């Protein structure tokens, strides 16, 4: 049985209507990595669903070409890529693949 919010307030004036706060999704801004779904497997081989989250870190990077600092939410593997290739090359690849919108 669904009620309109105005009707609900007539019957329950103490009921508060709050807007949900939209959380930021846990996705790497450079590689596009996101959570995977798998199973917890017990000793008796019972399987229950679980989520494998990404190892995300909030990190500031200096971009010498633009002479500015940028804060990104990146995975640990993206930080390894940055150490290997450089921040400019990795950001260029991410823009081409459509992951980075900044």
Answer whether 0.85 is exceeded by the pTM.
no
Could you give phi then psi for residue 32, rounded to 5 degrees? 80, 10
Domain membership of residue 18 (yes or no) is no
Q: Is residue 56 within 8 Å of residue 28, measured between CB atoms?
A: yes
pLDDT for 58 equals 96
For the chain, what is the domain count? 1
Burial (0-12, 13-18, 19+ Cβ within 10 Å), 32? middle
Q: Is residue 89 within 8 Å of residue 97, measured between CB atoms?
A: no
Q: What residue numbers bound the domain in which 72 lies?
A: 26-97
> Tens-digit pLDDT profile for the chain (102 aa)?
555 655 655 555 555 555 555 567 899 999 999 999 999 999 999 999 999 999 999 999 999 999 999 999 999 999 999 999 999 999 999 999 999 887
Domain membership of residue 19 (yes or no) is no
Q: Is residue 26 within 8 Å of residue 34, measured between CB atoms?
A: yes
């Amino acid at each position: 049985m669904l009620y309109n919010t105005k009707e609900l307030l007539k019957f329950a004036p103490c009921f508060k209507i709050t807007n949900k706060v939209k959380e930021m999704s846990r996705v790497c801004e450079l590689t596009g990595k996101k959570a995977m779904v798998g199973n917890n497997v017990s000793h008796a081989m019972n399987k229950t669903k679980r989520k494998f989250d990404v190892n995300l870190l909030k990190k500031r990077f200096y971009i010498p070409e633009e002479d500015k600092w940028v804060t990104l939410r990146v995975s640990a593997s993206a930080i390894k890529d940055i150490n290997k290739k450089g921040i400019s090359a990795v950001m260029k690849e991410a823009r081409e693949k459509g992951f980075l919108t900044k």
